Structure formats: C-alpha cells, structure tokens
Amino acid sequence: MRLEVRDLSFTYEKRRVLEGISLSVDGGEVVGILGPNGSGKTTLIRCINHILVPEGSVTFGKREISAMSPMERARLLAYVPQALSIGMAMTVFESVLMGRRPHVSWGIGESDIAMVTTVLEELGLSELAFRKATQISGGERQKVMIARALVQDPSLLLLDEPTSALDLRHQLEVMAIVRTHAGKKKTGVIMAIHDLNLASRFCDRVLVLSEGRVQGEGRPSDVLTEDLVRDVYGVRVRVDRGDGFPHIIAIEPVREGS
C-alpha cells in the first residue's frame, strides 16, 4: 500500500514545527528522514502515526490515518520510538511476542511462535530469548523493540533513530535486516536517522528537513551533496562516490560569515 502525506503542518505551543511537508512511500520502499536536531524528524513520524494530530492529509491505502481505529492502525503501522519501552518483568521472547497482539483474536498460535522465533534469529537475539529486560544491554533492548515491530507484520514501519544505541556492527546488521524485510514483505519503511552514511547506503530515498521545512528530497546520490550538507548542517564535508553511493566525510564546522 502507498502512504501519501500532503501539505502536513504542525504547531506546538504556538511554534510552527513542521510546514507544508509532502511525502509518498510505496510498499517495499525505505525512506530516510534526515536533518539536524530540532528539524522536525520525530514530530513528522509522530504525525504520520497519529500520535500527534497535524494539519494536512495523511492517507494510507487511500484511507485517512485519522479515520482508522487504534486497532486498525496497529494492524497496518508499527512504530519504534527513540525512548525504549519494554516491560522489565517480561522476557525478551514475551516482549517480542507482544507485537502479535493486533493479529490475535483468541490466543497465540504456532504461527505466532514461529514468527517470533524467526525474527529473534535474524536479529541475533535467540540466546537472549528467556532473559528479562533487566538482564540485557540498552542496545539489545533496542533490537528487541525492532523485533517486536517486525513480528507485528505491518504494511508501514516507522522507526525513530533505530540505530542510535547500537555499535557499528549492529547498526549495519539492523539496517540490512530492515532493508531485506522491506523488500521481502513489501513493507514501506520511514526512518528518522542521523547517520547520513547509513541513510545513503540503505535508503531508496531521503527527505531532508531543516527548521520544519523540506530542503531536499530524492535519491541519496542526488540529494546528499556538499552544498546541501553545508547549508543544512553547517558542516563542510567531502562526498566520496567511489563505491556506488555517496559517503560523507566531515571536515569542519562552517564558521559564521564564511
């Protein structure tokens, strides 16, 4: 299904946080939301998920997100926020299994157990399956939340800084799993992400925000230029395109007046 965001704006305590955002995401497509701190990335994700109520239109499969019941949204959309929320008394397996709740009418079935087992294996969490949240690291808890979202089997996956607590190896592993899941399940993915190089490598398209407005949108190779990064982030960079996708190498902050 296709997500359509049209002329979305949001005001928080009289401050305009987002202004005139338009975006479309097809099934199987991974779109990265980029921008410096305070640019509106998290707010945009929350508006799409109807946690916040924006001006403008957000439709999914030609239906307004705002017209769906919470259970309908839960069947279609899975959301992983920055702030991790995992039941500390639950085991890893139990926490991930919670992702099946929107699809369970009477009780947990063998197919639900099998799906959780498979996703735990894919994310390297099998050995932690029967540990409690108090016994695993912050990075492992973040992977558990991603696993819970994947077993929810959504048509649209919303991720807010999914790699922020992960080391380099696990960042690459998680991004590759999300990318593969999107292609296999035809799941649309929108992720707010700080790392420009991860976005460049794993996203089909990027949307760059600054002060709540779109500064660039398109393929990473077209959008992530030295001029755009300097103007949006205030950093002088060099863009190396030697391995097929832009690799951004930071040089120095841009001084005022330069």
**What ranges do the domains of the chain cover?**
3-253
Q: What is the DSSP string of 159-181?
A: EESTTTTS-HHHHHHHHHHHHHH
Write out the two tokens for 244. 């097929």
Q: Residue 70: phi, psi to the nearest 5?
A: -55, -35
CATH class belonging to 3-253:
alpha beta
Short-list 202, 208, 203, 211, CA closest to 224? 208
* Cα–Cα dist 17/38, whole Å: 9
Helix (H, G, I), strand (E, B) or coil at 89: coil
Enumerate the β-bridge partners of residue 249. Answer: 238
Write out the two tokens for 211. 């002060």
Please state, as a whole number, how many other Cβ atoms lie within 10 Å of the Cβ of residue 250.
12
DSSP state of 23: E
Label the pairing between strands 247-253 and 235-240.
antiparallel
Instruction: Return per-residue pLDDT of the chain as tens, 258 residues.
Output: 899 999 999 999 889 999 999 999 999 999 999 999 999 999 999 999 999 999 999 999 889 999 999 989 988 999 999 866 666 678 999 999 989 888 776 678 888 899 999 999 999 999 999 998 788 888 888 899 999 999 999 999 999 999 988 999 999 999 999 999 999 999 999 999 999 999 999 999 999 999 999 999 999 999 999 999 999 999 999 999 877 789 999 999 998 765
Residues 208 and 215: beta-carbon distance below 8 Å: yes
Give residue 117's pLDDT. Answer: 95
**The pTM is what?**
0.92
Task: Name every residue whose Cβ is closer than 8 Å to that of residue 116 and which is 6 or more positions away in sequence.
Answer: 93, 96, 97, 99, 100, 147, 151
Give residue 51's pLDDT. Answer: 94
Burial of 149 (0-12, 13-18, 19+ CB in 10 A): buried
Short-list 139, 152, 143, CA closest to 121? 143
Enumerate the β-bridge partners of residue 21. Answer: 8
83-90: list long-range contacts, CB under 8 Å, 24+ apart: 84/138, 84/141, 84/142, 84/145, 84/165, 85/145, 86/133, 86/141, 86/144, 86/145, 87/133, 88/132, 88/133, 88/134, 89/132, 89/133, 90/132, 90/133
* Cα–Cα dist 15/82, whole Å: 22
